[in-house]
Amino acid sequence: MVVKDIAYHRKTARQRRSELIDAGIACLGRGGMSAFTIDQICKQAGVSRGLINHHFDSKEALLVSIYAQMTEYLVRNHAATSPRQQIASFIDGSFDAASFNKSNLRAWLAIWGQVATHAELKSLHQQRYQKYRLQLVGALTVISEAEQLAVDADSVARQLIALIDGLWLEYCLHSDGFSLDDARADCYRFLRGIDIVIQPDQDLQGQMQP
């Protein structure tokens, strides 16, 4: 029995947009901004050239949507959990094997490069990072006040974020040298250095993805 050839399969705008976003991330991960072209993204998504401009105002608008999806985890609400759990969640989430692979890191690098240049992207980035940072500062403040620690929460939050991002960078740019577990351990070691002792959630530990 011969199934009649269907020229293409229709999907809802929401679903197709999501697929285009994923395809865009895949392209960014493969070759950075140079690979983020209409042709390559559409080929990756298995659709024709015209579809991106149908679902998005422009290629740049797609990039903003991609960034919005990639940073969604930063603004999740952790208010219900304890300060220590919040911090552990940030650290472990940042080095989660599922999202912390080199393809994703290349995508991050590419987008960071664009954040410095594009106004809309920069605005969204600062908004997301601000919320992320404030959650961290809040958790650190609660801990340091409860335990009478001489800790500058702003400075520590800044250092911890920098440490996480810097370890991402190192891990992404150097193929060898250390593992995800090393990186995570470095973060907890840093906090221990300023008398903030946090037990990492063992359940979150996993294997590295190449």
Partner DNA sequence: GAATTAGTTGAACGATCGTACAACAAGCGC
Partner DNA sequence: GCGCTTGTTGTACGATCGTTCAACTAATTC
Q: Which residues bind DNA (CB under 7 A)?
A: 6-13, 16, 36-40, 47-55, 58-60
Residue with Cβ nearer DNA (41 or 87): 41
Asked whether 153 and 141 are in contact (CB, 8 A), the reply is yes
Phi–psi pair at 145, nearest 5 degrees: -75, -40
Q: What is the 3-state secondary structure (H, E, C) of 170-199?
A: HHHHCCCCCCHHHHHHHHHHHHHHCCCCCC
Residue with Cβ nearer DNA (14 or 174): 14
Residue 47 binding result from its own copies, DNA, none, given CB thresholds of 5 to 8 Å by partner type: DNA
Residue 105 binding result from its own copies, DNA, none, given CB thresholds of 5 to 8 Å by partner type: its own copies
The overall longest dimension of the chain from CA atoms, in Å, is 77
Task: List the interface residues with its own copies, window 58-97 (CB under 8 A).
Answer: none
Spatial distance between the Cα atoms of 7 and 143, rounded to a whole number of angstroms: 60
Confirm or reject binding of residue 165 to its own copies (CB under 8 A): yes
CB 204, min distance to its own copies, A: 20
